[in-house]
Amino acid sequence: MFSEKLLTWFDKHQRSLPWRLSSPNPYYTWLSEIMLQQTTVATVIPYFHAFITKWPTLQDLALASLDDVLVAWQGLGYYSRARNLHKAAPLLVKRFPVTPAELVKFPGIGPYTAAAIASIAFNQKAAAVDGNVIRVLSRYFAIPTTNPITEVTNALTPCLPEGRYGDFTQSLMELGALICRPKAPACSLCPLQQDCKAHALQMVEDFPVKSPKIKLPTRYTRAFILRREDGALLLRKRPSKGLLGGMMEVPTTPWEDSPFESRGERIRHTFTHFHLEVDVCPGSDPSEFQGIWVHPKDLHTYPLPTLMKKILKATLALSEK
Ligand code: SF4
């Protein structure tokens, strides 16, 4: 009943999305699923269009350089996704597996993404459980635990409808995005309302049960702005592994746990696991750093993370005052 109601609703109300085709294209499914990790559909759509315009097929993407992929990814955040995309493309070109067990062995594909790709692109029987699905199911069954991945997977597996596995995965995602939203879910429009426990208890926003908030630590660094007479800025490439790996930056000192005295402009940026306070100051000796000189008008051709864009924006605004 659960899946029938959901699919009937989905057949009528699903959005038209650029990666949602009547005959699924595994490249589109994979690309969109990687982009959609941590990001909303509205943000992803222009990036998805840009990628498939630049690299219409998986073969094309497999031949792309990491720098080009990072530049196209700029602004989407969580850049390890772009690096994994670049790593996985040549492997997937050789053989695009169809089961979650095999897909999960590829860079950037976790259990959720593997199940989503297998079901959507290949109509394989798989329960794809992400934050959206956890929200819908933990409300529907009023599951009282925090982070109930196992409970939700167990509850979902018997509901998977024979032959329509891909539609089922997408219908749950769609319901989570359009109706069973985090705040103020539209229960009156929901096809599952009649049997939804949280709705019956009038406790919809109490599910999923939240874990206590963890206070993020703060780390500190100093960033050096070096400018040539013609206005060019010194940038260097970050090591390929680790946070913001392979992206460009103005030189910074190691990111440390203890604060230090400010010498310049303070900028604060928040990553998933910590805040970073950056003391942006003028640098004096370019020979201390290995880097390249980039004119401000050419900055958009380099992969710059949001943090660096913030630093450069503040710096360029100051220098124009
Ligand atoms: S009835 Fe409300 S809380 Fe329950 S699944 Fe539907 S939208 Fe979510």
Q: Is the dihedral of CA 232, 303, 94, 57 positive or negative?
A: negative
221 lines ligand 1 (CB under 6 A): no
pLDDT greater than 80 at residue 319: no
Ligand 1 geometric centre to CA of 274 (Å): 33
Ligand 1 geometric centre to CA of 151 (Å): 18
- Percentage of residues of the chain with pLDDT beyond 70: 98
**Residue 1, CB half-sphere, CA atoms under 13 Å: how many?**
6
Range 265-271 average pLDDT: 92
| Probe target for ligand 1 pocket from 139, 203, 209, with the most ligand atoms within 8 Å of CB | 139
pLDDT greater than 90 at residue 313: no
pLDDT of residue 130: 92
- Residue of 4, 33, 265, 320 with catalytic role: 33
281 lines ligand 1 (CB under 6 A): no
Bigger pLDDT: 193 vs 1: 193
Q: Output the furthest CA–CA distance in the chain (Å, rounded).
A: 71
Ligand 1 geometric centre to CA of 189 (Å): 9
pLDDT of residue 8: 97
pLDDT greater than 90 at residue 279: yes
Going along the chain from its start, the domains and CATH numbers come out as: 2-206 (1.10.340.30), 218-320 (3.90.79.10)
Instruction: Verify whether residue 229 is a known catalytic residue.
Output: no
pLDDT of residue 318: 58
137 lines ligand 1 (CB under 6 A): no
pLDDT of residue 87: 97
246 lines ligand 1 (CB under 6 A): no
Contact 274, 220 (CB under 8 A): no
User: Any idea which of 25-29, 100-104, 125-129, 311-315 has the lowest mean pLDDT?
Assistant: 311-315
pLDDT band at 287 (very low <50, low <70, confident <90, very high): confident
Q: Which atom of ligand 1 is nearest to the CA of 175?
A: 7
pLDDT greater than 80 at residue 31: yes
- Separation of alpha carbons 233 and 266, rounded Å: 19
pLDDT greater than 60 at residue 305: yes
| Probe target for ligand 1 pocket from 180, 194, 201, 209, with the most ligand atoms within 8 Å of CB | 180
Range 132-161 average pLDDT: 94
Range 252-276 average pLDDT: 91
- Separation of alpha carbons 36 and 32, rounded Å: 6
* Element housing 236 (H / E): strand 233-237
Ligand 1 geometric centre to CA of 18 (Å): 27
Bigger pLDDT: 128 vs 290: 128
294 lines ligand 1 (CB under 6 A): no
pLDDT of residue 214: 84
190 lines ligand 1 (CB under 6 A): yes
Range 8-21 average pLDDT: 96
CA neighbor of 6 nearest in space, from 140, 114, 207, 122: 140
Bigger pLDDT: 305 vs 286: 305
CA neighbor of 84 nearest in space, from 193, 246, 192, 210: 246
Range 132-146 average pLDDT: 95
pLDDT of residue 320: 55
- Percentage of residues of the chain with pLDDT beyond 90: 84
126 lines ligand 1 (CB under 6 A): no
DSSP 14-75: PPP-TT--SS--HHHHHHHHHHHTTS-HHHHHHHHHHHHHH--SHHHHHTS-HHHHHHHHTT
pLDDT greater than 70 at residue 321: no
Average pLDDT, the chain: 93
Residue pLDDT, tens place only, 53-86: 999 999 999 999 999 999 999 989 889 999 999 9
- Separation of alpha carbons 67 and 246, rounded Å: 8
DSSP state letter for 272: S
Ligand 1 geometric centre to CA of 98 (Å): 32
